[in-house]
Amino acid sequence: MPQPLDYRNPKSPRRAVVPSDASAGVTRPCIPAEFDKLLTKTDDHPAARAIEAQLRKADIAFHAIDDGERAKRTLEIYVGEKRFEQAAQIAATIFARRAKIKKFPKPEIPDTGRAGGDWIDATLF
């Protein structure tokens, strides 16, 4: 005779299976030795990608790492000590530009005078 499955039975003699954190077993990638200075650690992904693009344009070698978390992921960009000053100026310029853009007021949606759904003809239903 088949036995019923007791998946969520609190009186079950079996131990509850606790899902493991996916990032717990994952180790961070190694940072190459030539990239010894941390340029930035940010959760602003567009800024990090803009910094990477400008560093490529300026022919500055860098190493980027994301921490592997699923939410609130932080990005770290490492550069060599020789070009750190130039890379720091690039990063500071981009962060300052993004701060100015974020200060702009968001446009308000104009009021059309209609309430939501009032314009629908009730005889259609």
Q: What is the mean pLDDT of residues 106-119?
A: 69
Residue 22 counted as domain residue: no
Residue 96 counted as domain residue: yes
pLDDT at residue 52 in the model: 96
Q: Decide: helix, strand or coil at residue 56.
A: helix
Structural domain span for residue 93:
38-101
pLDDT at 23 over 80: no
Q: What is the mean pLDDT of residues 67-95?
A: 91
Residue 33 counted as domain residue: no
Residue 68 counted as domain residue: yes
Q: Decide: helix, strand or coil at residue 40.
A: strand
Total domains in the chain come to: 1
Considering only CA atoms, which of 33, 21, 31 is closest in space to residue 77? Answer: 31
Report the amino acid identity of residue 47: A
Residue 45 counted as domain residue: yes
pLDDT grade, residue 71 (50/70/90)? confident
Looking at residue 84, which CATH number applies to its domain?
A: 3.30.70
Residue 74 counted as domain residue: yes
Place of tokens 């060599």: 80
Q: What is the mean pLDDT of residues 2-21?
A: 65
Considering only CA atoms, which of 30, 102, 93, 33 is closest in space to residue 57? Answer: 93
Residue 55 counted as domain residue: yes
Considering only CA atoms, which of 65, 75, 68, 55 is closest in space to residue 32? Answer: 65
